[in-house]
Structure 1
Amino acid sequence: MKKHFYFLIILISFVSCNNENEIDSSHQIKLKFTHNWDGTSLSSRDFSVFKFVNQNGEKISIERLRYILSNIHFINGNETYTFSNYSLVDLKNGNEFAINLPKKITSGSYQLKFTFGFKDIDNIDGVYQDLNSVNFNVPSMLGGGYHYMQFDGKYKDSNNQDANFNYHAIRAVDRSDPNNLKFEDTSFEVNIGTISIINNAEITIKVNIAEWFKNPNTWDLNKLNTVLMPNFEAQKLMRANGKTVFSLGDVSQ
């Protein structure tokens, strides 16, 4: 009888240890987005001041910056964690924006990817009430759905006068025939790189706003400043420039 009792104790201890190991191998992940202009920290405190100069030489004052991130993926050879929700990043309260992932992930090396904006399958007109309430919708004449980004401010034009810019990214729409709109999904996937997860982690993603104006297309605000949403070619240029905006920063574990 005693042998059976001791065997039961050992078995319970073994299972308990295994459960502890399973818990220890699952980690909470926080993504922290910090914003900069070619390395100079950028926050809402820097808004409405002609503080930055773009690649084309125009002085810029930023007044609003908000954008959508969706479909976060942690991918390795054995397991993929997908977080299909979206987040509206609004740079109005400081420099940082954080996303606490709702599910823990196990230890391992992962590629971190996410989508800037909404893929067409998710860009459904009128369904996201929080975005509706903050005027993030795209007008029906442009196909509906939602903005990917609203980036507004002023620049010094060729006469050194203050002029407005509205660098708004949406799904590109060709309105050559208003009765037959043609669309191109100009959201894009961002591959941040490979990250080794061994513990609870805070992953910093650096967001260089200056890249929207320079790589690979040098942006001339005297030519492309407002009314960019119905500009099919301008939307494709934005997509190309956006692919160098995001990069991996520090990983704290």
Structure 2
Amino acid sequence: MKKALRYSRLLFLMVKLAISEEMEYRSNFFANVLSTVSGLFVSLLTLQVFFNQTQAIGGWSFEQVLVLLGIFNALDGVVKMVLRPNIGRIVQHIRKGTLDLILTKPVDSQFYVSFRHILFWPITDVLMGLGLVVYGVLQMGIAITVTNLLWFALLFVAALVTLYGIWMLLMTMSFWFVKVENLTFLFTSLFETARFPVQVYRGILRALLTYVFPVAVLTTFPAAALVGKLNGTDALISVSIAVLMVVVARQFWKMALRNYTSASS
């Protein structure tokens, strides 16, 4: 308990520092917010073009896909805010030898490389994404129960954990490979498929996007919890993959550190 409180306070300080740093360049902050609004507008315009040709995509209506798109936008904000500026630096830490300094700090090294450099402005992606989720639900005119909300909260957290686990696994490979930047481009390309429900994809591709690169866990299952499409099997898959990803990522990080010889040796 004391350790959890200690890390909670440390995380709070990191977030506070991120806000202070962002407010030093307010014009840059508002420019990024404008970029976020423009990006979401283009996504909605693209979605509207699709639905001008059909009434449903993969069995999902326009309003239901709006909910899914909102979840995608929120997760994309987390990538920009936490994952890319932090875990994305692992490669640089190893190349420049700054990982040696991190390992000497009285804090868990994985925690430090995961949350030290938080960007504040992508919070707009998260808030606008969740706002789009609320708008989509209201447009459907369906009654949302407490059970639906609890399932959504659980599966959204599972999506965040899964996303973190995938990114951590990819970047930890830099302990053995000099260049892993191409993996981030591959991740980004695959992540883009989460803009649409996994039911759009067929056959082996659908299986791959559910179990290998779990796009379904990231957006489809959380959205399904709100729009009434979730079943027990999907929920179990979502939670199981999230637990598996975070455990594997943790063990992979520990193994990488055991094989790390430092920049000075």
Question: When the two structures are superposed, what TM-score results if normalisation uses the length of structure 1?
Answer: 0.29
- The structure that is strand-richer by fraction is 1
Greater share of helix: 2
Task: Compare CA radii of gyration and give the structure with the larger one.
Answer: 1
TM-score, with length taken from structure 2: 0.28
